[in-house]
Structure 1
């Protein structure tokens, strides 16, 4: 059988221009026309819309650092015909309010742009047919300094809850400190910055999150976000043996001997952490100041130091016999 394009064209023509299909095509045409008419009527009505206009500061001296305001924006309600409003909102042109820094900056590190000036700037950006119905800003305030800065540590804020069989072994913040720019008074009062609120539950594996730092008025933070690495470990209860007992606060020329001289300590920690712990990492002491006036021949022991990551440490014996020797 030979394929001929003319046969296909005849088939398509007969299908499209049959009586039933011709009526259906006419219906589609009128449906399209009515849709276009409805769309034109709809977009010809007046609408009100809230828009957000970003702010940009021009003519900023090289010696000045904006400590807030670089991310400022103005919320304004405008009304206009649908077509014009749609074209303005979705156009690719930059609708940015340009503010002359030198005109509005004051010597005390604060600048203020009155609402009447903001309204005039916004009107220059809008189509001629658009009207401002409300401006949600009484005035725009921005802050700057002349380069004063200092470095402060970062602290995370929030609540972390692990799976019952796990615990948080370590929390790393990268970077662990940031540079802040602000007035001298603010710099002196800020000792650290916080992350945004971080709340997580049922943690059983390493959790890595990126968080913005909490904003403060008149303060610029560089960088303004950090990466937080929350490392977990499986809880285990283990015993560390052969830990020497050390006498502290002993008088000059005297030495403490205990019997036994070494003890065991039961600890709760992570499995990874336990494998790295040595007896020398734990300090068990007998404080002479606590038993020098006692009549008992036993002294009380206490765990003075444990490695990082150990949540509980318990001695296998709390009191031991002792002898004080002259050196």
Structure 2
């Protein structure tokens, strides 16, 4: 007990010593001036923006909202600072609520809330001295459907480039299709959905990314994210031996070429080469060319190649030949 009293006495002596009395007086007048400045500031007329939540109520259980109503109203008001503080911290402003049935157009699958109704609800929460300067956004609408949906494929949007000696083998999405909810007219016109633009340069390795589906106004897309897989492949130069075929030959003539097969060189992804067969290529000699342009050698033509190859060309373009009559 004596120890506590001695501590109080020491604190009292410290605070009320000559030097500390002056410091306490300084703090008192500093606080007083701060309060005076705050009172003057709050008494001035100023502008401030407030955000008010918006709620759509009474939505039927079997209705799917495909285009959400704006969830926030941004208002700008002018009044004295005291009043604005009340709005900010006094719990004066409450969410705006609008009943689904009052604004829904069942046939069109849309609903629009007139600005007058928004202003009315906002104004009902403001003091008479407050001036409402602006309300944003300028339009309040929503879209809905009673279960109409469609499965559509996801398509790629963007640009992917590979490093030198690589090429883009293919891309795929998981899932490859999504469910879209909308009114019948919109669904009839919709054939696919795109991802948000996806760009990547100098790709060498397989990548997997979660990417968002591009939003479409008035439609609800499920899921809104898909998994994108991008598969690059190494380019390699290969060749196959392809038989030479004669075209436009008379029935009583036979063409023999030396050699009977020629090499076709091409560029292809390493993983795809095993799928390539000589029968997918077509190398021909046109009998009409032999008749119109007689020569010791015949001109070969590469008429057909698989879609997966590039830069296909013949290793020999001229070969010896022999025409025989049957």
> TM > 0.5 between the two?
yes
Equivalent residues of 1:284, 1:301 under 8 A apart: no
- RMSD, aligned α-carbons: 4.6
Aligned counterpart, 1:280: 276
- SS in structure 2 of the partner of residue 103 of structure 1: helix
Count of equivalent residues: 311
- Relative to structure 1, is the Cα distance of residues 131 and 196 closer, same or farther in structure 2, using a 3 angstrom cutoff? farther
Cα distance in 1 for residues equivalent to 2:70 and 2:273: 49
Structure 1 counterpart of 2:107:
108
Map of 2:301 onto structure 1? 300
SS of residue matched to 1:305? coil
Shift of 1:102: 1.0
CA distance in 2, matches of 1:189, 1:122: 39
CA distances 1:222-280 after superposition (whole Å, capped 9, x unpaired) = 223344444556x65x32244555969999x9x999736363534265xxxx2663263
8 A contact 1:283–1:305 mirrored in 2: no
**Does the Cα contact within 8 Å between 1:56 and 1:97 map onto a contact in 2?**
yes
Say yes or no: does 1:60 pair with 2:59: yes
Cα distance, 1:101 vs structure 2: 1.0
Do 1:245 and 1:284's aligned partners in 2 also have CA atoms closer than 8 Å?
no
Superposition pairs of residues 106-185 of structure 1, within 5 angstroms: 106-109=105-108, 110-126=110-126, 130-136=130-136, 140-160=140-160, 168-185=168-185
For the residue of structure 1 that corresponds to 2:41, the secondary structure is: helix
Q: 1:291 matched to which residue of 2? A: 286
Matched position secondary structure for 1:278: helix
Moved more, 7-16 or 296-305: 7-16
Q: Tell me, in whole angstroms, the C-alpha distance in 1 between the residues paired with 2:214 and 2:160.
A: 18
Distance 1:91 1:320, change over 3 A: farther
User: Are residues 282 and 170 of structure 1, via their aligned partners in 2, closer, same or farther at CA, if it must alter by over 3 Å?
Assistant: farther
Give distance in 2, aligned partners of 1:203 and 1:35. 62
Per-residue CA shift, 1:70-127, capped at 9, x if unaligned? 4554333233444553564578899432211111112322222222211222234556
Gaps in structure 2 of 5+ consecutive residues: 291-296
What is the CA–CA distance in structure 2 between the aligned matches of 1:22 and 1:239, rounded to whole Å? 93
Q: Deviations over 1:189-217 (max 9, x none)?
A: 11122233445556666666554433333
- Corresponding residue number in structure 2 for 1:319: 317
User: TM-score with structure 1 length normalisation?
Assistant: 0.70
Does the CA-based 8 Å contact 1:161-1:201 persist in structure 2?
yes
Deviation at 1:150, TM superposition (A): 0.6
Which residue of structure 2 aligns with residue 190 of structure 1? 190
Asked if 2 retains the 8 angstrom alpha-carbon contact of 1:286 and 1:299, the reply is no
Note the residue ranges of structure 1 that are not aligned, 5 or more in a row: none
Shift in Å, 1:188: 1.3
Which secondary structure state, in structure 2, belongs to the residue aligned with residue 301 of structure 1?
A: strand
Q: For the residues of structure 2 that align with 1:161 and 1:191, how far apart are their CA atoms?
A: 27
**Residues 1:77 and 2:76 aligned together:** yes
